[in-house]
Amino acid sequence: MLFLLSSPVLFPLILHFLSLLPPTSARQDRSAPRDIHALSADHLRYLAEADPPEWEGTVEGHLGKLLIPRPVGSKNSTLVQNYISSVFKRLGWHEEQNPFKSETPIGELDFTNLIYTFDPDAPRKIIIAAHFDSKYFPDYPANQFIGATDSAAPCSFMLDLAEAMTPLLQSRRDRLRNGTGILRDGFDEEDAGETTLQLLFLDGEEAFKDWTNTDSIYGARHLAHKWSESFLPPTHPLSLSARRFDPTPSVLSTIDVLVLLDLLGHRSPRIHSYYRETDWLHGLMSSADKRLREAGLVEVESGEEGWFSENRYGPGMIGDDHVPFNQRGVSVLHVISNPFPNVWHSLGDDASALSVPAMNRWNKILRVFTAEYLGLAPESSASSGKRIPEDGEARRSADEL
């Protein structure tokens, strides 16, 4: 599925890959650190305990619908796509399906990327992404490969995240429409509301034979190219702003950062940072995990305290869906276990490879990370049903708008 550039023989290839990347300044502007307001202890607890509830088994929540072989173009792939779509239709998110055809080593196949956006009119977005296809194997029993960590579990985390974030996003939207956005020291909800959440389910990440530049990441390559040539209208805020990233801003210019999830859900993941412009986001996610652990809001299995490494690696180490976006200037936070799970690309990557405490922990980490990035906070206490106030908070009145 992925190509690990770890051999010294491949060092010249790494240098060539780096030479293809846009200038650093082109990416840093997009992913410049935001003013992050950490959730209060009450907010942290509320968000960790909010619906949907913790999973008690691997077939609970959304995961049970995804733990099936689902190679590109199969009936099971269509079932998974329809299920994902049904979740977002119920939540009221904007759906965009991106179907396309591509030649593969086994012939021409139909692919479909699934794109869900809470507010499609927002000028900027943070994208959280994973691939929903499982690796194709031609013969039994290998063709029963499920890919639980790769990437059924990450997709299920995204569905949980959508359900948890929707009430907060809806409350923000209502406040801004009513002219009662939150104002407090250093925080203006109207400004924060210009960035929305987009969840991207990519098709065709896996190679059909050997991982090459043409036999891999089909959906990501297609979508990155499409978005790079989809230019923003002159009336778009990024077209009007002097802070635009290029003379002809495209859909890619609206992406603050692409957070790619892969090979997660098992015990003992090691999460490293690969891009200097998103080291701070790796730190934000690590901080969310640390605070949840210290507050006793996640179950930590023996020896599982430290998932997030302080090591800083260089870009280009791991080929994955982020590459065509990063090559076009999109900042990336690659959240992938490295080393890979020992069941990688084997029939052992099924439900038995997953850890329920680890998956519940990831769900809560992603909730806190996303809420803090977007400046969202729970509106009411789980215990009292009353709004949890913030110190120094005020409301934006209609007269101030």
- Residues tagged active-site: 205, 262
Question: In 203-343, where do the E strands start and end?
Answer: 255-262, 271-273, 308-312, 332-336
Dihedral sign for Cα 288, 290, 295, 299, please: positive
Mode of pairing for the β-strands spanning 187-188 and 182-184? antiparallel
The DSSP-derived string for 259-300 is EEEES-SSSS--EEE--GGGHHHHHHHHHHHHHHHHTT-S--
Please choose, from the candidates 80, 91, 211, 194, the residue with its C-alpha nearest in 3D space to the C-alpha of residue 147: 80
Please choose, from the candidates 374, 6, 384, 366, the residue with its C-alpha nearest in 3D space to the C-alpha of residue 191: 374
Count Cβ atoms within 10 A of the Cβ of residue 260 and give its class: 0-12 exposed, 13-18 middle, 19 or more buried: buried
Is 242 within 8 Å of 111 (Cβ atoms)?
Answer: no
Is 72 within 8 Å of 109 (Cβ atoms)?
Answer: yes
Distance CA 256, CA 146 (A): 32
Q: Which residues contact 267 (CB under 8 A, 6 or more apart)?
A: 301, 304, 355, 358
**Half-sphere exposure at residue 220, Cβ-oriented, CA atoms within 13 angstroms:** 27
Distance CA 84, CA 67 (A): 13
Is 166 within 8 Å of 91 (Cβ atoms)?
Answer: yes
- Report DSSP state, residue 172: H
- Report DSSP state, residue 20: H
Is 290 within 8 Å of 369 (Cβ atoms)?
Answer: no
